[in-house]
Amino acid sequence: MSEWTTIARPYAQAAFDYAVENKTVTQWQEMLMFTAEVSKNETVKSLLTGSVAAEKLAEIFNGVCGEQLDLQGQNLVKILAENRRLQAFPEISVLFNQLKADFDKEIDVDITSAVKLKKQQQTDLGKSLEKRLARKVKLNCSVDPELIAGVLIKAGDTVIDGSLRSKLNRLSDALQA
């Protein structure tokens, strides 16, 4: 967890609440992703950690972002500049995306398998996970031959380990106990 998470959470929540109220969630998501990338730029990052006055810093940041930000986005930049928190934009963007996923009842699921899953297997697994998690599921599939067989599923805080490697490790632990 980033050191900026606690600082970023109320800003992300306020931006999300405003976006939902005004039906501009996608627009805000794009603005926050853009500002996150701007704040990660090495030149901008050195400016953010410098001793530039907050008003000037907000003016420069908004100038760099240009037409990518609407008036409310520019106001958020000003508020963050006044509080010396422009570096929190990457975390604000991540938290905003999480709030949007919760709002849309979506979840990213990482599936690691020993061999590449076929399309039908992915479809079946996706349907089963949607029922179990009661959300729309976006699968991110990868291959790890070290699992030997089976799959490892990670969805938020939920982990389902159905790999042969894990079963062999548990059996080994039981035999040694």
Domain, as residue range, for 127:
114-176
Ramachandran angles phi, psi of 137, nearest 5°: -115, 135
- Residues 87-145: pLDDT tens digits? 889 999 999 998 998 888 888 899 999 889 999 999 999 999 899 888 888 899 999 88
pTM: 0.68
Q: Is residue 136 part of a domain?
A: yes
In terms of domains, do 90 and 126 share one?
A: no
- Residues 139-168: pLDDT tens digits? 999 998 888 888 899 987 888 888 888 888
Number of Cβ within 10 Å of residue 68's Cβ equals 15
Q: How much is the pLDDT for 2? A: 61
In terms of domains, do 140 and 89 share one?
A: no
Alpha-helical segments (H) within the chain: 5-21, 25-40, 42-48, 54-65, 71-82, 89-103, 119-133, 164-176
Q: How much is the pLDDT for 43? A: 79
CATH number of the domain at 35, please.
Answer: 1.10.520.20
In terms of domains, do 138 and 59 share one?
A: no
Which tops the pLDDT comparison, 105 or 21? 21
Where residue 1 falls among pLDDT bands split at 50, 70, 90?
A: very low
Q: How much is the pLDDT for 111? A: 92
> Tell me, what DSSP letter sits at residue 68?
G
- Residues 33-89: pLDDT tens digits? 999 998 888 877 777 777 778 788 888 888 888 888 899 999 998 998 888 888 889
In terms of domains, do 10 and 93 share one?
A: yes
Q: Is residue 109 part of a domain?
A: no
In terms of domains, do 138 and 94 share one?
A: no
In terms of domains, do 118 and 169 share one?
A: yes
